[in-house]
Structure 1
C-alpha cells in the first residue's frame, strides 16, 4: 500500500532539541560564486583603470602644452613686391592681419563649415556621428574617401602636432581637441582656425592667403574666392591657385556645391559663382633669380628687422620682366636650338640710378636656379672694348682720330681681325663700330697697357678678373653680365657710375627702414661720356650691332664674341635703359656661328621693341 504523506508535525527534526529552535541554512555555492564575480569585476576595474591610465600616459607623455603652443613663434616672412606694388614672391611663414569672425563675410566661415565639418556646432570636439558616417562611406567605397576629423581636431593637429599619421597621433589629436573645446567657444575656435590654418605657398590664415592669391584682404573676398580658400585645407600644397589653378577651381566648385547642399546658397548661385571664377595670372616663375639676388644680404642690409616680418618694394618692372622671359625662351626654343645655344641671361638696368628692372639668370629658374646674370664669370670678348676706348680718350684721343688696323705681332702673339680687311688707318669710331682687334690692342698700349684699362673698368663698376697682358683689349677678362651691364651706364647717363640695386623701399612692423643704396657718382666727364655714346651708336648704325637697331629709338651698344663662339654678348643703350644679353652653354661648348651681332643683338632688339611705348 502506498505510504501516507508525512505530516509536518511528524517530520524528523533538523537539529537536536538540545541545541534550541530549528534554523534553515541557505546553500553556500551561489553566494560564493557571486562573491567571486564581484571580486573579479573589482579587480578588472582596478587593473583596467590602471591600464587605461598607463595607455593615456603613453599617448600623452609628449603632448605639447596647449597654452604655450597657441603662442608659438614662426619663421619671419619676407614679402617681395614689384615696382607697382603687385606681389612678386614670399618666403618664411606669411601671415596677414588677424581677422575677427564678425569682420569676415559670413559666407567665408560658412563655406569652411559646409565642406569640412557640418556638425561643427553640435559636437564636443570629436564627432562620433561623423566618424560612423565616414567609416560607412569608406567601407562602401573599398578605400578611404571620407575623413571623420572635425574642425577642432584639424585645429589641434595644425597648432600642436606633426603631420605624422599614426594611432598615437590620432589619439593625441582627439585629446587636444577636447582641451580646445573646453577652453574656447565655438566662435573662438573658428576664429583661431581661420587665422592660423595653413593654406599653401607659405600663407597662414585666410587674410594672408586672400592677399597672396587674390590681392585683397580676407574682409573683401567674393563668394567664389571664399570657396577657393575654404577648399585649401584639404591639400594646401596641391590645391592652391599658385601650384595648380585648375585644381583649385575644381575644388572651389565642390565647396560651392556643398554650400548649396546645406542651404547657405541656392544651387543657381553656386553655378553662377563657379562660372565667375577667374584666377589672376600667377607671378613670373623665372623672376626667382631676381628674388634670390634681392634677398642675398637681408641680415646685413636690415639688421633691425631680424626676427620680424619684412616687406620689400623692389625695382622689378612686370612688363620688362615678362618681355625678357618671353623673348629669351622664344629665341632659345627656335633659332637658339638650331644653333646649339642652350642657355642665356638678360639684365635690364635703369642707367639713371642702377635700378634693376628685369633679370633672367637662365632659361628656367625651376630647372636651374643658378643665376648666370650675377654668378657666372665669363670672358666678355669685344664687349669689353669700350673701356679700352675710354682709356684712350682719357689719354687725349678723340673719336675722329686715326688708329692703324694693320697686322700686329707682340712677341709670339698676333691678334687677328677676322673678316676685316685692313685699310691701314681708320678712325677710333670706325674701329669700335667694326670691332677691329689690332686697333684695340694699339689703343690699349697707347693708354698705358692692361693695368690702366683695368682701372678704368673697375672705376665704372666692372668687377672681375683682369688679365695683365695686351689680350685684355680683346676681352679676356672674366666678368658677370650684371657688372658688365652696369659698366655701360656711365656712357648712357652722362658719366655717373651706378651700383645695381633691387630694393626701393623696405618696411617692417609698419615702419619704414633705411634702404642701403649708393648714390650715383661721377666717374668720367660728361664730354667723354658723350663721345663714347656717339661711338657706341655707330656700332648699331653701321657696324657689328646693326641687328639691334630699333626704328625711332636712339640705340648704341657693343657686340662681343669669344673664341669658337663659346660666348656671345650684346650690351646696348637705349635711354634710360641699359640691356645686357649673354648667350652660350653651361659647359662652354661652342655654338654654331653665333656672334654678339647675331642672336644677342636680335634679342636686345626684340626686348626693346616690347618695352617701347
Structure 2
C-alpha cells in the first residue's frame, strides 16, 4: 500500500504543476487581454475625440473665394453682342442650336437665347432663368423671359470665380453637398471603389482577404481592400506611410467613423476630401474643384462621360493625367462607363454615346485660376481696411470684386503685344495700367508689370512720376466753370513768357515744337496740347483754383501751387490718374475707386460695407465742354492716330509726356471704360517715347482687343450750341460769317446782335 502510494505521488505532483502552469498562463492571458482591451478602449476614445472634432467642427478650411463683377444687362447697357458671347464662353456656357438645359445658349446676329445657371449673388440667390437678349447698334435693347415674354429691367450673369486665396497647407477645394452631387458620380464611385459600402461597418474583411489573395498570387500589389471609410480616415488623419500599425489605426478609425456618422455624411466627406490632382503648387481636393480643374465648368453640368472620368482619376490622378496620358485616361474612363452599364445605371445606347465622346477638357494653356497680383494686392488692402486682416483667414468667405475678366484679358494682351515692338528699342521699359468701369467706379483691370502675371513691384499703384500734359483738362475745366469769362473759342496768347518766383528764379515755358503762334483758341490749345497758352490760362484763373479742381476730382496727395504744375510737374501713379479721369468721364462726379463690392461670410451673410457717395467736383455743363474738347484731341489733335484707328467711334483722350521723354502717359475713355497708362523706366531714364507713341499705343491695342463703344454725348440742359468768330472768339448769332459752332454754357453765351456789325438805315427804321 505504501509502495503504491509512493509511485502515484510524482504523477499527481506533475498534473498539479501542469494545472498550475495552465492556470498562470490563463490568468496572465485574460489579464493581458483585459489590459489590451482597456488600451484599445482608451485609444478608441482618444481617436473618437479626434474624429469628432474633425467631423462636427470645421472639416476643411475653405479658401476665400474671389469673384469678378457680375455682368449686369439692361436695356441701354453698353454691352455688344460679341462681348456677351465672349463672356458666356469665359463662363463655360455651351453654344447649341436650341438651349434645353442650364448652361446652354444659342445665338443669331441680333439675339442671344440663354439658359442661365442659378448662382449666389450678394443681393440674394439668383434662380436659373431662360431669357432672350436683343441687341441694337448701341448695345442691349431688351431682355425678356422666355416662359412669359415679360420684359426685365435688369438681368445678371453669374460672376467668374477668379481664384481662391490659399492658406499655408496648399490645399484647394470647392465644397459640394451630397444633394448637389450628380448621382452618376456616386453610383460609379461605389461600383469602382466600394460596392458593399452600405453593408459593411467601416471595414470589409472579405475585401481585405480577397485583395491579399490576389496580391500574393500576382506577386505585387494590384488590388486594395480598403473601404471608402478607410480611405477617408487615411486622407483626413493619417499619412501615406505603409505599415501594419498605420493600417490597424486606419481600420479602427474607420469603424469609429462608421459607428458615429451616417453613410451619406461619410460619402459627402469623401467626395470633398479625395485627392484629384495637382495644379502646380496647389493640391486639388474634392470633386467640385476637380470639375473646374479638368473641365472648366460646374460639376452639375458635366456629361456622364466626364463624371465617369472624375471617378476614374481617383485611382491615380498623376498616372491618369488626361493632358499627359490621354489614351490611358480614356481607357480607365471607359472601364468606369462599362461598370455603369453592367450594373444597369446606363443603357446600351447611353453607354455607346458616352464611350464615343471625347474627354472635353478645358484648354490647358489657360489657367483655372487667374494670376492677378496687382489687382489682388489692392483687394487685400481694401478688405483689410474695411474688415481687418483676420477676415481672409476665415473659412468660406466670398469676396465680390469689380474686376472685368474681359477687360483684364484685353489689357494683358495689349501690354504683351505692344511691348514686343517697344522693347526692341529699350529693354528697360515698364508699364502701369489701370482700367475703370465708367458707370460703377470700380477698377475693371490692372497691370503692374510688362509681364502681367509677375508678382512684384506694382507700377499701377506704387510709382510716382510727373504726369505731364494729363493735368491740362483740369486747367481747362477750371477756366470753363459757370460764370467764367472763357469759352471754347476764347483766344489765348501764345507768345514767349518768363515768370519769376519769390526767390528771383525765372521760368520760360516752351511749346513742344519750340514755336509760337501768337494767339490760339482755347479749344485748339487743349487739342494740340500747347504749353504756353495753357500756362497763360492757368495763371488767369489762378493756380490755386486749378489745384482745387484737381483735389475735388479725387487727387488725394498734396499739390504745390507753382505755375509749373499747370504743365504736369505733379507726381502721380496710373491709379491716381484713373481716379481723376473717372471723374471727367462720369459727368464731373467724383467717387472713390474701389475693388470690392461685397463680402459674404461662411454662412453667406453679407458683411456691412460703406460706399462713398458721389460728389459733384465739376458741373455737368462744364464737364460736357471738357469732354467735347478731349474728343477733338482724338479726332484731330495729339491723339489723331487713335481716332484714325477707330473711325466713326467717339473717344475722349489726352496724351502726356514728361521732360526729356522720360515718361509716356495716356488717359482716355469710351462709353464703358476709363484707362490710365504709364510707360517708362524704373531708373527714370530717357525713353525716346511720347505719350502718343508709347502709352497711347497700348491703349489702341487694348481697344483692338475690346472694341470700344462710342461716347453718347448728350448735352445737359445748361449747354447750347453757340457760334463764335473764328478770329476773335466773340459770340455771334447763327448765320453770321466766319463763325464756327461750338457747345457753350447757356449762362455765358451772349452773342452780339446783327453779327456785331453797324445797323443799316432800313434796320434802324424797322427797329432792329
Instruction: State the TM-score, normalized to the length of structure 2.
Output: 0.64
How is 1:167-566 mapped onto 2 (pairs within 5 angstroms)?
171-184=248-261, 186-194=263-271, 206=287, 210=291, 218-230=299-311, 246=323, 253=330, 255-260=332-337, 262=339, 263=342, 268=352, 271-277=355-361, 285-287=370-372, 289-294=374-379, 296-298=381-383, 309=396, 311=398, 314-340=401-427, 342-364=429-451, 366-368=453-455, 370-394=457-481, 396-399=485-488, 400-406=490-496, 408=498, 410=500, 411=505, 413-449=507-543, 451-503=544-596, 509=603, 516-549=610-643, 550-566=646-662
Q: Distance in 2 between matches of 1:569 and 1:507?
A: 38
Among residues 691, 696, 699, which one is paired with 1:604 in the alignment?
Answer: 699
1:82 to 47, 69, 82: 69
How far 1:571 sits from its partner (Å)? 0.2
SS in 1 for 2:323: helix
Instruction: For residues 479-534 of structure 1, give each alpha carbon's deviation from its aligned partner in whole angstroms, at most 9, with x where no partner exists.
Output: 23123123123433432223323455666656667754334332222332233223
CA distance in 1, matches of 2:6, 2:235: 77
- Partner in structure 1 of residue 228 of structure 2: 151
Alpha-carbon distance, 1:574 to partner: 2.2
Deviation, structure 1 residue 208 = 6.6
Q: Which runs of 5+ in 1 are unaligned?
A: 1-13
Distance 1:158 1:529, change over 3 A: same
Equivalents in 2 of 1:494, 1:54: separation in Å?
78
- Distance verdict in 2 for CA 1:259–1:434, change over 3 Å: same
CA contact (8 A) 1:466 1:476 kept: no
Distance 1:22 1:115, change over 3 A: closer
Is the 1:420–1:436 contact (alpha carbons within 8 Å) kept by the matching residues of 2? no
Moved more, 78-87 or 406-415: 406-415
Equivalences, count: 584
Q: Distance in 1 between matches of 2:619 and 2:312?
A: 62
User: Residues of 1 paired with 2:21 and 2:227: CA distance?
Assistant: 44
Change (3 A) 1:183 1:423: same
Greater strand proportion: 2
Instruction: Name the SS of the counterpart of 1:348 in structure 2.
Output: strand
Q: Distance in 1 between matches of 2:535 and 2:242?
A: 74
Residue 301 of structure 1: how far off its partner (Å) = 5.1
- Report the 3-state secondary structure (helix = DSSP H, G, I; strand = E; otherwise coil) of the residue aligned with 1:320: helix
Per residue, is there more helix in 1 or in 2?
1
Relative to structure 1, is the Cα distance of residues 538 and 487 closer, same or farther in structure 2, using a 3 angstrom cutoff?
same
Work out which structure has the larger RCO, using CA pairs closer than 8 Å and 6 or more positions apart in sequence: 1
* Structure-2 change in CA distance of 1:138 and 1:459 (3 Å): farther
User: Is contact 1:320-1:611 (8 Å) kept?
Assistant: no
